[in-house]
Structure 1
Amino acid sequence: MHAAFYNFGPGEVARHLPKVWASTTPEAAHAARERGCVAALRRILGPLGSGPDVARAADLLAAASAGAPTEGRVMYAALRALPVPTDPLTRLWHAANLLREHRGDGHIAALVTERIGGLEAHVLSALDAGIFPAESFGRIHHLPKQVLADLMAGLRERGLVDTEGHFTPAGRATKDRIEARTDEPGPGAVRRAGGGRPRRA
């Protein structure tokens, strides 16, 4: 689980699993997340959420999201194993989630290639978003101060951040390479929209 959830803090997943399954199940957790996200989409879209354009968009995105190889894409492969919803707006959300996790899996591969650890990735993302100091970023600010100090010290030693905690030119270049590699589609990464019909439940 830690390998799949690459940028969680040390031991963070182990502290919550498997005891979390005492209060829910994987199926129920997934269903609750899907219901909540689709409800939010319906609220945002209003009448458009049940219109023919949503159904068409759902079909196109579902077709586009179903054609990527699953090798090395743990989260994407897991979602691909689920049935495609029949409700158009839910299908649209499902397809968007597939594409998001496909990119997320590729992002982890890019981070590993650049030898950027999971917590280091949060620092680079925070600086890229203009959050300073990076240690205040919501995904890492709760970590022990010594962990954060060691994290920043390691990035300084590698020349990726300066003494104040800002990007160095090398750090900025590293972050840009990671994003560029993440966006490389690779062979057959995503099926062309309209190039097939998704499997439905």
Structure 2
Amino acid sequence: MFELIEPIATATFSEVANEAFLAVGMRNYWDGYFAGRAAPLGQAPAEVVHAVFYNFADGEVARHIPWVWGKITPEEAIAVRERGSTAALRQRIGDLADSPGLTRAADLATRAAVSAPTEGRVLYAGLRALDTPTEPVARLWHAATLLREHRGDGHNAALVAHGIGGTEAHVLLALSLGMQAAEFGRIHHLPKAQLDAVIDGLRHRGLVDAAGGFTATGRETKDRIEALTDELATPPYDVLSTDELDELIAALEPIAAAAAAAHE
């Protein structure tokens, strides 16, 4: 489900959605990112957004929040994000946007997306408090975003349970992709001393070897976190019967494939 939901939800991080935020006064991509994604939390301070988002380096959130709230309200940001994301998704999937299959996918995905418990799921709970769009493409994007953030909240819980911090999580992801941490896009900009200290901490715990690669314990820890993340992501789909889940998967496959292909 992650592979089917992710290309749909991440239309929100596209240039089309970015331009929608630039048009209302955001200075750059990251202003729009933080305004749109954090908006369901209200005017939460940077410290809270940093905690909820989990994996940004210290100070990165504070470069944008609360500045963005001097230019746009959370309510306005929610509307801009939905409008830009829907336009981006429609552009990416072409004729599928008007297909009966998309409408059915939106209906089933929405049923799943609003069915899970919210306890301990801060960003998911914030999104659940929003009105569900009625237009099918917007509704599908909204449902995919709910499911994505539900999974993300669970992933954060899994990381906390294993004592893995936000920057450490990026290091482990980089290694799982066959990259050195210093080459990974989300953390390569960090000062070398800061990144080296994170890697040294992982090495001290036996998760990273002297060459900067995975140890067996490190790979096992990463795999265990991913398995727990998958397990914690299942509750929304429990509301669907086996036939309905199969139907949802079949309906999402061409949409996700088109969205992913357009993003490449």
Q: Give the superposition deviation at 1:44.
A: 2.3
Aligned-residue Cα RMSD (Å) equals 1.8
Q: What's 1:150 paired with?
A: 197
Q: Counterpart amino acid of 1:107? A: H
Q: Secondary structure at the match of 2:92?
A: helix
Q: Secondary structure at the match of 1:184?
A: helix
Distance 1:31 1:123 in 2: 34
Tell me, yes or no, if the aligned pair for 1:66 and 1:191 is still in contact at 8 Å.
Answer: no
Q: Using a 3 Å threshold, how does the CA distance of structure 1 residues 186 and 7 change in structure 2: closer, same or farther?
A: closer
Tell me, yes or no, if the aligned pair for 2:133 and 2:139 is still in contact at 8 Å.
Answer: yes
Structure 1 residue 88 and structure 2 residue 136: aligned?
A: yes
Structure 1 residue 41 and structure 2 residue 89: aligned?
A: yes
Q: What's 1:23 paired with?
A: 71
Q: Give the superposition deviation at 1:3.
A: 1.5
Q: Using a 3 Å threshold, how does the CA distance of structure 1 residues 186 and 135 change in structure 2: closer, same or farther?
A: closer
- From 203, 214, 239, give the equivalent of 1:167: 214
Matches within 5 A, 1:73-152: 73-130=121-178, 132-152=179-199
Distance 2:132 2:87 in 1: 17
Q: What's 2:240 paired with?
A: 193
Q: Give the superposition deviation at 1:159.
A: 0.9
Q: Secondary structure at the match of 1:167?
A: coil
Tell me, yes or no, if the aligned pair for 2:55 and 2:169 is still in contact at 8 Å.
Answer: yes
Distance 1:186 1:58 in 2: 19
Q: Give the superposition deviation at 1:22.
A: 1.8
- Runs (4 or more) in structure 1 with deviation over 6 Å come to none
Q: What's 1:3 paired with?
A: 51
Matches within 5 A, 1:49-64: 49-64=97-112
Q: Give the superposition deviation at 1:187.
A: 8.4
Hey, which of these two has a bigger chunk of helix by percent?
Answer: 2
Q: Secondary structure at the match of 1:125?
A: helix
Q: Using a 3 Å threshold, how does the CA distance of structure 1 residues 121 and 37 change in structure 2: closer, same or farther?
A: same
Tell me, yes or no, if the aligned pair for 1:63 and 1:191 is still in contact at 8 Å.
Answer: no
Q: Give the superposition deviation at 1:30.
A: 2.6
- Equivalenced residue count is 194
Q: Using a 3 Å threshold, how does the CA distance of structure 1 residues 125 and 187 change in structure 2: closer, same or farther?
A: closer
Q: Counterpart amino acid of 2:87? A: A
Q: Secondary structure at the match of 2:133?
A: coil
Deviates more, 1:105-114 or 1:134-143: 134-143
Identical aligned residues as a percent: 61
Deviates more, 1:38-47 or 1:51-60: 38-47
Q: Secondary structure at the match of 1:162?
A: coil
Q: Secondary structure at the match of 2:239?
A: coil
Distance 1:166 1:185 in 2: 28
Distance 1:172 1:188 in 2: 26
Tell me, yes or no, if the aligned pair for 2:112 and 2:236 is still in contact at 8 Å.
Answer: no
Question: Unaligned stretches of 5+ in structure 2?
Answer: 1-47, 245-264
Tell me, yes or no, if the aligned pair for 1:61 and 1:193 is still in contact at 8 Å.
Answer: no
Question: Unaligned stretches of 5+ in structure 1?
Answer: 196-201
Tell me, yes or no, if the aligned pair for 1:75 and 1:105 is still in contact at 8 Å.
Answer: yes
Distance 1:47 1:186 in 2: 30
Q: Secondary structure at the match of 1:3?
A: helix
